[in-house]
Amino acid sequence: MRRFFASVLEVCEIALVAVGAVFLIRGFLVQPFLVSGSSMAPMFSNGDYLLIDELSYRFRQPERGEVVVFRYPKDDSTYFIKRIIGLPGERVVIKNGIVTVFDEARPQGVKLSEDYLGSGTFTSGNLEFSLKADEYLVLGDNRSYSFDSRTWGPLKTSDVVGLVRLRLWPVGNIRAFAAPQY
């Protein structure tokens, strides 16, 4: 009888450690995310299963070009995936399909070369954003079908959940991601 209780206790301990490990990993390190929609095509498609790194932004700020998952500013229960285009303190101008970034180091502005966009992609709108110290400008890669900062404004730092690091599904498209160089 003692052996039976010892075995049951051991199984409970293993289950408790496993649940605790899953809680810690999912709560503080990585989180799964399922892409819904085509706003990030061709890089990400509807149904892609991604792993989101929640730890990196505890030690550094997001960089231009990184793809992030965040809570939609007007509804905390909805999550979006978009690419960071404008950083805190910058002025971003969208005009005639061209995205230009102005900051202290480049007061004349720099036109972004967005090689990750699909051919024929046009960034619509004649807009200008002056980002505060805790704001980012995020755009979808499929600009014609993306509900992004052009519509609802800058994204607060506090809404960013994490950085897209890895696509796990579909199996034929497994890939790790890094920010493009501008």
Closest by CA to 79, choosing from 135, 144, 27, 35, is 35
Q: Contact at 8 Å (CB) between 30 and 52?
A: yes
99 exposed, middle or buried (CB, 10 Å; 0-12, 13-18, 19+)?
Answer: buried
For this structure, is 39 an active site residue?
yes
Pick the catalytic residue from 56, 77, 82, 132: 82
Q: Contact at 8 Å (CB) between 69 and 81?
A: yes
CB within 8 A of 61, min separation 6: which ones? 87, 88
Q: How many whole angstroms from its chain centre is CA 22?
A: 22
For this structure, is 146 an active site residue?
no
Length, in residues, of the chain: 182
Pick the catalytic residue from 7, 36, 39, 95: 39
Can you tell me whether residue 14 is helix, strand or coil?
helix
Catalytic positions are: 39, 82
